[in-house]
Amino acid sequence: MAKSIVVLRAYQDGLHLNITPTFSVTEVTEAIRKEFERMNQPLAGVSVQIDMNAPLLTEADLAYLKTELQDTYGMEVRGLNIADGTGDSTGVLGEKRPLAARAERGRIEKTRVVRETIRSGQTEDFPEGNLIIYGDVNPGGEVSAGGDIVVLGALRGSAHAGMNGKLSSVIIAMNLVPLQLQIGNYISRPSWGQKSRGYPEIARAGTEDIIIVEEL
Amino acid sequence: MGKVIVVTSGKGGVGKTTSTANLGTALALIGKTVVVIDADVGLRNLDVVMGLESRIVYTSMDVIENRCELSRALVKDKRVEGLMLLAASQKNNKDDIQPEQMKAICTELRATHDFVLVDSPAGIESGFRNAAAGAEEALVITTPDVSAIRDADRITGLLQHEGVEPINLVLNRLSPEMVRKGNMVSQSDVVGLLNLKLIGVVPEDREVIASTNRGIPLVHNKNSPGAQAYMRIAKRLTGQRIPIPELREKGFFSNILDWFSGNK
Ligand SMILES: Nc1ncnc2c1ncn2[C@@H]1O[C@H](COP(=O)(O)OP(=O)(O)OP(=O)(O)O)[C@@H](O)[C@H]1O
Ligand SMILES: [Mg+2]
């Protein structure tokens, strides 16, 4: 499945913008525009680091990108990290892991399994733990959980993970096209009418109020 | 023992009454005995659509209040063998009937008829609850627009909660024009979202309005696309396996639908 050529990710040291290096700067700029439009969240003032695997963009291109991020989106570019190795993106990021990987391992958590689609006007709340939906969450339907929410279908309605404030909670859906996502007190309303990307995605709280969505 | 099927939608004006009149008539045309019940108390119009308005003497209210026998309140449609209408009272309102009373009527009728179709009012309040009370199955009618689909989803949740099963979906008024205006959601998107079994697609058909005004259900005029769609749905209701003809097979539609559903 084709990944997006730019991916915004949250790491312990803040947001990183990962850029797949085999594209022209025009394509990268366009991909950034699409990705940010899809997120539909205020990014002004947010600090970001640009990560690339190979130095395929020229220095002029990089300068252009930096200006673009600063002027168009009001973001602060705090650094640029280019690995000249081949391919493997973990090379760049080293031991810094995405936030979701911080989940405490080996702990048994309470989880409620719901074996039906949550339709318009219906809600499913499970403040005590995680929620797994074997179905869809339709527009007008709402699910909330103290921990993570996993939708093994399409999430088209609203989901609130970490409803008691647990910011390490995540929302996963096979098909993530929500009206609204909330993790702890971070809210995102992805732009309306998004088509599914055709692969499972995960949403997690980034830094500075931003909810990050990426391929699972 | 016959089947009681509630015809419902949540949103108003999407074709519940049109569908009840046409499916009732279509089922009778293929030899079934049918009663269509108008459950839209206070805003009845199934009788008008079926051209039976002038023949109504008693309504379901008269039956409930013991002013007449159920069998006497049924208005026979003389154009086709085996089709009867139980009219709604126009003088009363929806809260004058209790779900158990509707249920009793449906139970009595299904003992002697193959199909009992209940035309539900719009909304999710008492009128809908009365209409659904005696039903074991449902036809959810929607048009391909976001708000109708949202309401169909809402009503489906309520029906499932009541244990109504199966719930089949009728997609009404699918039209190339709406696609062109960008107002239409594709057939596959509707079915994908509602996750119901699609029992038929009725195209937008001007003949519907003409037939409504004449008080002669569309299916009496077999040539129109709408009539053919309703005839096929009726046959599917009797258990015949007739594939849903993909509107996309006709050149123009096919392109647009494919384009919309990303199947290109
Ligand atoms: N397939 C169709 N093509 C064209 N017009 C249609 C079609 N189906 C329904 N209509 C028109 O839409 C209008 C509403 O239809 P109808 O009365 O059957 O809806 P309803 O769901 O029963 O409405 P209500 O909620 O008010 O009871 C009518 O004018 C009818 O002629
Ligand atoms: Mg009606």
ipTM of the complex: 0.76
Q: What pLDDT, on a 0 to 100 scale, did the predictor assign at position A25?
A: 82
Query: Per-residue pLDDT tens for A5-52?
Result: 888 887 778 888 888 766 688 888 888 888 888 888 888 888 888 888
Q: Which two tokens stand for residue B255?
A: 């392109």
CA of B17 to the centre of ligand 2 (A): 4
φ, ψ dihedrals at B247, nearest 5°: -60, -20
Contact B222, B229 (CB under 8 A): no
Task: Give this prediction's pTM.
Answer: 0.81
B217, burial (CB in 10 Å: exposed 0-12, middle 13-18, buried 19+): buried
User: Over 90: is that where the pLDDT of B128 sits?
Assistant: yes
Report residues whose beta carbon is within 6 angstroms of any ligand 1 atom.
B 9, 12-18, 40, 121-122, 172-173, 202, 204-205, 208-209, 212, 226
Can you spell out the DSSP letters for B90-143?
SSS-GGGS-HHHHHHHHHHHHTT-SEEEEEPPSSSSHHHHHHHHT-SEEEEEE-
User: Over 70: is that where the pLDDT of A174 sits?
Assistant: yes
Q: What pLDDT, on a 0 to 100 scale, did the predictor assign at position A47?
A: 87
Q: What pLDDT, on a 0 to 100 scale, did the predictor assign at position B223?
A: 87
Give the closest of A121, A139, A156 to B157, CB-based. A121
Query: Per-residue pLDDT tens for A103-126?
Result: 556 677 899 999 999 999 999 999
> How confident is the model over B206-230, as a mean pLDDT?
92
> How confident is the model over B151-164, as a mean pLDDT?
96
**Top CATH class, A110-215:** mainly beta
User: Over 80: is that where the pLDDT of B122 sits?
Assistant: yes
d(CA B150, nearest CA chain A) in Å = 7
Residues forming a β-bridge with B76: B84
- Give the neighbor-by-neighbor strand order of the sheet with A158-161: A123-126, A142-145, A158-161, A180-183, A186-188
User: Over 50: is that where the pLDDT of B248 sits?
Assistant: no
Nearest CA to ligand 1 atom 10: B15
Q: What pLDDT, on a 0 to 100 scale, did the predictor assign at position B53?
A: 93
Q: What pLDDT, on a 0 to 100 scale, did the predictor assign at position A58?
A: 79
Helix (H) or strand (E) holding A86: none
Q: Mutation test of the interface with chain A: which of B193, B197, B259, B264, choosing the one with the most A Cβ atoms within 10 A?
A: B193
- Highest mean predicted confidence (pLDDT) among A4-13, A92-101, B20-29, B93-102: B20-29
Contact A138 B193 (CB under 8 A): yes
Give the model's confidence band at B183: pLDDT under 50 very low, under 70 low, under 90 confident, else very high: low
B243 versus A194: the higher-pLDDT residue is: B243
Q: In this complex, how many residue pairs, one in chain A and one in chain B, have their CB atoms less than 8 Å apart?
A: 31
- Note every long-range contact of A39-43, with CB atoms under 8 Å and residues 24 or more positions apart, other chains counting: A39/A8, A39/A188, A39/A190, A39/A191, A39/A210, A39/A211, A39/A213, A40/A188, A40/A189, A40/A190, A40/A191, A41/A188, A41/A209, A41/A210, A41/A211, A42/A209, A43/A73, A43/A74, A43/A75, A43/A210
User: Over 60: is that where the pLDDT of B131 sits?
Assistant: yes
> How confident is the model over B132-151, as a mean pLDDT?
95
Q: What pLDDT, on a 0 to 100 scale, did the predictor assign at position A55?
A: 63
d(CA B228, nearest CA chain A) in Å = 32
Query: Per-residue pLDDT tens for A125-158?
Result: 999 999 999 999 999 999 999 999 999 999 999 9
- The CA distance from B129 to B108, in Å, is 19
In three-state secondary structure terms, A33 is helix
Contact B150 A135 (CB under 8 A): no
Contact A68, A74 (CB under 8 A): no
Helices (H) and strands (E) in chain B, counts: 12, 8
CA of B161 to the centre of ligand 2 (A): 23
Q: What pLDDT, on a 0 to 100 scale, did the predictor assign at position A105?
A: 61
Domain ranges of chain A: 6-105, 110-215
CA of B214 to the centre of ligand 1 (A): 14
In three-state secondary structure terms, A4 is coil
> How confident is the model over A86-103, as a mean pLDDT?
47
Nearest CA to ligand 1 atom 13: B13
Domain ranges of chain B: 3-260
A6-105 CATH fold: Transcription Regulator spoIIAA (3.30.750)
Query: Per-residue pLDDT tens for A161-172?
Result: 999 999 999 999
Pick the CATH number of B3-260 from 3.40.50.300, 3.50.50.60, 3.10.20.30, 3.40.50.2300: 3.40.50.300
Q: What pLDDT, on a 0 to 100 scale, did the predictor assign at position B258?
A: 43
- The CA distance from A145 to B220, in Å, is 54
Q: Which of A103-107, B68-72, B125-129 has the lowest mean pLDDT?
A: A103-107
CA distances (Å), origin A214, targets A10, A39, A93, B166: 10, 11, 16, 38
Give the model's confidence band at B50: pLDDT under 50 very low, under 70 low, under 90 confident, else very high: very high
Nearest CA to ligand 1 atom 30: B209
Q: What pLDDT, on a 0 to 100 scale, did the predictor assign at position A112?
A: 96
Give the closest of A119, A135, A195 to B153, CB-based. A119
Can you spell out the DSSP letters for B200-224?
EEEE--HHHHHHHHHT--GGGSTTS
- The CA distance from B5 to B139, in Å, is 7
Nearest CA to ligand 1 atom 23: B13
Give the model's confidence band at B251: pLDDT under 50 very low, under 70 low, under 90 confident, else very high: very low
